[in-house]
Structure 1
């Protein structure tokens, strides 16, 4: 992955992202700050809203420790990925997988990125629709922000709002060919995540001063075996909280100084860990045992302080805009990997305007239609998304290390890799079981759902 490596790449491992060409748009390389914002935006998506609920399951102390451990494990897996990429001059995740496992390894990685990212973006669009236009579940309608402000009209209905968002926001940003072009929107996206943290922390502190918040649970309650099993349901949320590996290479390829990739990864993980820890702590402190699996849903009622409705709207609007700006970063990796999957022998995607345009338009259309017309899409991607995400983040980097085609892995690397694979498999089994169980419960108890 490092600059200056001139060895011939293994057959079938051409870059998914073309290397920078001389004089191309007079682009001199991405900055450190821009790369940090882009990688951080890749990390902080919708998963942030599930973290306070993990505190309810694990308790504050184990929960916060687990967030830090997940960040350290992610840092280790990216470090392995970077090191093995550098050893063969692989300019993409697919290339280093191809070097270790050949054609099928590269294709498997690309399939996982496509499945993970298209699922994530459909879910993002569903959440944006829920926040702005409202949602109905269990016979009850939860009003969206626009409905609350202006009443119910055709122009603030779900379909029209998502159509406008796709045309006005997603389409222009999706047409940008370089990751670095998204650095400013990524900076705004990270800032909006911080705004959410500040508002949540502010409300919690005010209520704490007023004595309206009880002592939070520091450690989990485990009165029986079922309670012990419930603790493991928090593992998939934590394991997938920092998935960003598919964008490490595109960001690295555009850097002004490629040697900065390690400090960029460290800085991004520290920034995201800080956001995650403060969100988890103050979110759980604020709502306690009433914390919902998506804490955003808690901001749908009276908070018990002045200007409650204004703060609720500020939280929801800032989060919806945050997701809109995360969308193009995830889309960029989706398009590159799908192109590599469908057209492995074609030239770079960025140099073929027709292929680039058609693929962008088709992907946006598929995501838009799925978010509007396939009601069970969330359930489907609870399974495939969790599986693909842990493969991308832990199983594949660990497998490359254990395969060690260039004999550069140390003993500790292999021990760590075995641990990653075991953790990934356990989290997958737990995720699939808990998702299947919750879906079964919903179907068997429709009145409760």
Structure 2
């Protein structure tokens, strides 16, 4: 019975309009015509996409709220998440119209081979930068996290070496997951990653009532701050929540939010492996993923801000370390955040490997040799960058600000304007044009901010 339904869907898919006589007959796409009849479940796809969305950026959103205000932050977060969902809608619409199922193929359709190479290189640069920065975080933070659990005064032990820990987690965790041939297999680890982030948000809410305002001053922190004469007295701490804040630091908010919702390199691979892969079904996956991520982001940012107010740190967990040293719950959250970042690396690796294979081997059948070789080489490059580049987050700051903005806003809008048959004055074309303008604005803004920050530091 299922086979008859699929075959009839394929035949109906050759027309311009799908049959909408039955509510259960979802909009057919060319992906069905390629014989994809069974794949990842809806829930598994949601978890994979959420894992691609949420990363270590969640630690900086409370700082963004402190520099924009509660209402300002909420409006901007809603705007960016809505635009992210709309850009995904444009990508899925193009896939439906053209029968193409990869970001690179859409680039080739829009701008010939130059477009394909541009998109593939952008994906590779963006994802290598993201993976390397995540590995850098693991190398820097994991030894201290383990040490806080062990609570020993011994020095020189192996688990205090970040490089050794990085190699161990890469070989034992990242490599086996990255070698999986299908992205749908990562649904189980992605669900773990999401629940780790959810637990982080819950702890931020709970700890709101553990740190009073004005902020307390422990003895160690008091000594350091008194020596440097930079600490403002606790009696003068600002304990009033601001609804709107405008300052030079407010400009960091939109780029931070934009990068926090970047998942577009994983959209089409997840779409290809989705069970009953229709445009509407995949759009529902994206909408659910973005909505849940929005809620987790908003709750963690709000209660993190209401805990520290104007004194919130750019990395939220550092504030808890200062005022709740060796707190078991905070230490556990730090470990879980690191595990969530670790489990995100294989998911980011998948589209990067796919882009490399498309660049060098083209649209060939699956080969374990090229699959394993590209996996090993990409992970080796990522580990080497994380180990030997001392300031990797700044190095990839410029690259990330440009490539992330292109993948999130600019490319979907440009491709839609180039490929779609819509009239230039239609709502779709106007929306795509606005998306391109917004993306160029955000990209230039974030790039200027990074360059100015470097100039001030030098």
TM-score above 0.5: yes
What's the TM-score, normalizing by structure 1?
0.85
Unpaired runs of 5+ residues, structure 1, are 8-16, 134-143, 444-449
Distance in 1, matches of 2:377 and 2:33, equals 25
CA contact (8 A) 2:109 2:419 kept: no
Distance in 2, matches of 1:70 and 1:31, equals 27
Q: Deviations over 1:233-280 (max 9, x none)?
A: 222112222111111111111111112111111110111001110111
Show the counterpart of 2:121.
111
Cα offset for 1:408? Answer: 6.8
| 1:153 aligned counterpart, secondary structure | coil
CA contact (8 A) 1:121 1:367 kept: yes
Distance in 2, matches of 1:245 and 1:37, equals 15
Are 1:257 and 2:276 matched, yes or no? yes
- Which range is displaced more, 89-98 or 266-275? 89-98
Cα offset for 1:32? Answer: 0.6
| 1:65 aligned counterpart, secondary structure | helix
Distance in 2, matches of 1:19 and 1:165, equals 40
Structure 1 residues 74 and 60, CA gap change in structure 2 (3 angstroms) = same
What's the TM-score, normalizing by structure 2?
0.83
Are 1:294 and 2:315 matched, yes or no? yes
Cα offset for 1:209? Answer: 10
Show the counterpart of 1:203.
207
Show the counterpart of 1:329.
347
Q: How does 1:39-50 map to 2 (within 5 A)?
A: 39-50=49-60
Q: How does 1:227-376 map to 2 (within 5 A)?
A: 227=247, 229-259=248-278, 260-303=281-324, 309-344=327-362, 347-348=364-365, 351-376=366-391
Cα offset for 1:20? Answer: 7.4
Instruction: Give the counterpart of 2:452 among 422, 437, 443.
Output: 437
Distance in 1, matches of 2:276 and 2:58, equals 31
| 1:28 aligned counterpart, secondary structure | coil
Distance in 2, matches of 1:437 and 1:407, equals 41
| 1:58 aligned counterpart, secondary structure | coil
Cα offset for 1:312? Answer: 2.3
Distance in 2, matches of 1:43 and 1:107, equals 24
CA contact (8 A) 1:19 1:253 kept: no
CA contact (8 A) 2:174 2:345 kept: yes
Structure 1 residues 113 and 408, CA gap change in structure 2 (3 angstroms) = farther
Show the counterpart of 1:155.
158
Are 1:182 and 2:192 matched, yes or no? no
Distance in 2, matches of 1:298 and 1:406, equals 52
Structure 1 residues 238 and 419, CA gap change in structure 2 (3 angstroms) = same
Show the counterpart of 1:71.
81
Distance in 1, matches of 2:424 and 2:127, equals 30
Cα offset for 1:28? Answer: 3.1
Structure having the higher Rg: 2
Structure 1 residues 358 and 87, CA gap change in structure 2 (3 angstroms) = same
Structure 1 residues 189 and 177, CA gap change in structure 2 (3 angstroms) = same
Distance in 2, matches of 1:371 and 1:175, equals 20
Q: Deviations over 1:101-146 (max 9, x none)?
A: 211111111111111100001110111122212xxxxxxxxxx112
Instruction: Give the counterpart of 1:387 among 402, 415, 428.
Output: 402
Two-structure CA RMSD over aligned residues (Å): 2.4
| 2:176 aligned counterpart, secondary structure | helix
Cα offset for 1:378? Answer: 1.6
